[in-house]
Structure 1
Amino acid sequence: MTPELVLASASPARTKLLNDAGIRHRVQVSDVDEDAATAAAGPLSPAQTALLLAQAKAESVAATVVSGLVLGCDSVFEIDGQPYGKPWEPEVARARWRQMSGKSGILHTGHWLISMHDGAGGVAQGEVTSAVVHFEEVSEAEIDAYVTTGEPLQVAGAFTIDGLAGAFIAGIEGDPHTVVGLSISTLRRLLVSVGVPITDLWK
């Protein structure tokens, strides 16, 4: 019997990626306190932080799931050597965009897959994928207009490539899905590692 995939994320962009890739799944949002989890872990690189939070989300949901596959994901943006998550506040988003304008940053997405099918008993595999994002020079007027839409407030790095901010992205080195928040090719590798062909999850 094909196992059920549970996405431990509230991100509409991640579930859209899975839907567009034809992957059957359901969403169950975790109750992880991200600030508390990272504080407890101590100093981490941006990539390590993304994987830690992906793992925490997957484990939180897996604790309530009897069988199947649980996928946790988290994204952290790095620019000038510093990690950034969601800005939440408009002024924070404006400051981020002033910093990013005309520069390049790295978007790290952590993936953590827990398999509890066929007696696997909670086998877990994790991987971080990273992509370099090159930004156009963006004017103050464009920054103000973009922040006013609200789009950048609840996404890592204060930008999307599959939304309005696509106009401000000069190029990407790496898997674009990583920047959206879930690398489908990485998911395929993780599924293979626990003995599940991704084709078994196609709708």
Structure 2
Amino acid sequence: MRFVLASASPSRLSVLRSAGIEPLVQVSGVDEDAVAASLTDPAPAELVTALARAKAEAVAAECAEPDAVIVGCDSMLLLADGEIVGKPGTPEVAAKRWAQNSGSSAELLTGHAIIRVRDGKITDRTSGHLGTTVHFGTPTEDEINAYIATGEPLNVAGGFTLEGFGGWFIEGVDGDPSSVLGISLPLTRKLLADLGLTITHLWTTPA
């Protein structure tokens, strides 16, 4: 059985490899804005879960593996004022995010969806989400500008990372650290169990 990661995220791939999984990476190509626009006033958790589900479904429709579990993920940052934000995309938006978050806390929401494929056919689906509180430090303006200049925060949820340059400016997390990296190992294990699968049977790297 192949573990298929429906994501181009290097962080998710690194987390899985460190935890004994060598996934087949197949990027979904889903238009996230279109998926979000198709939803009627979704709650933040519903939004990230719907996006994860859309990615998993898109990859399942094209996957050539006859026996596989396909895992889709999506992460967004829920700010203290209730605004839900994804990847900044531009230096200007990244600077705005850090101005909002500096010295405060926000909730990183990660949606997960898993599709089970047997004999080339979809047999089971499950999904869920997890929230982890992120405590931001108070970097100086020069530090923020230098961080944005690395390009790192432009294409990651909320405009920060825990494992990269951004880690210098994160005071701590309450909850599952792996979810902040893009894929929650505990939630993925639980969702696999919902489908009757044991994570240890999917390990490809010897303990």
Classify the TM-score, shorter chain.
Answer: over 0.9
The aligned counterpart of 1:21 is: 19
Instruction: State the identity %.
Output: 48
Aligned-pair CA distance for 1:167: 1.0
Cα distance in 1, alignment partners of residues 173 and 33 from structure 2: 29
Cα distance in 1, alignment partners of residues 108 and 22 from structure 2: 26
Cα distance in 1, alignment partners of residues 155 and 10 from structure 2: 11
Aligned-pair CA distance for 1:120: 7.6
Which SS does the other structure have where 1:132 is aligned? strand
Q: Is the 8 A contact 2:110 2:179 kept in 1?
A: yes
Show CA shifts across 1:52-105 (max 9, x none): 100000000001124311100000101121000000100110111011000100
Runs of 4+ in 1 over 6 A off after TM superposition: none
Show CA shifts across 1:157-195 (max 9, x none): 000001111111111000001111100111111111111
The aligned counterpart of 2:147 is: 146
- Taking the TM superposition and a 5 Å limit, the aligned residue runs for 1:92-111 are 92-111=93-112
Unmatched runs of 5 consecutive residues or more in structure 2: none
Cα distance in 2, alignment partners of residues 115 and 9 from structure 1: 17
Cα distance in 1, alignment partners of residues 127 and 34 from structure 2: 21
1:60 to 58, 61, 67: 58
Cα distance in 2, alignment partners of residues 45 and 20 from structure 1: 32
In structure 2, give the amino acid aligned to 1:131: T
The aligned counterpart of 2:85 is: 84
- Taking the TM superposition and a 5 Å limit, the aligned residue runs for 1:46-195 are 46-65=44-63, 66-79=66-79, 80-117=81-118, 121-195=122-196
Which SS does the other structure have where 1:44 is aligned? coil
Q: Is the 8 A contact 1:24 1:201 kept in 2?
A: no
Show CA shifts across 1:96-154 (max 9, x none): 10110001000000000001137984310101011000111121111101000000000
What is the number of residues matched between the two proteins? 201
Unmatched runs of 5 consecutive residues or more in structure 1: none
TM-score of the aligned structures, taking structure 1 as reference length: 0.95
1:41 to 19, 34, 39: 39
Q: Is the 8 A contact 2:115 2:122 kept in 1?
A: no
Q: Is the 8 A contact 1:69 1:115 kept in 2?
A: yes
Q: CA RMSD in A?
A: 1.3
Cα distance in 2, alignment partners of residues 11 and 19 from structure 1: 13
In structure 1, give the amino acid aligned to 2:185: I
Cα distance in 2, alignment partners of residues 29 and 122 from structure 1: 21
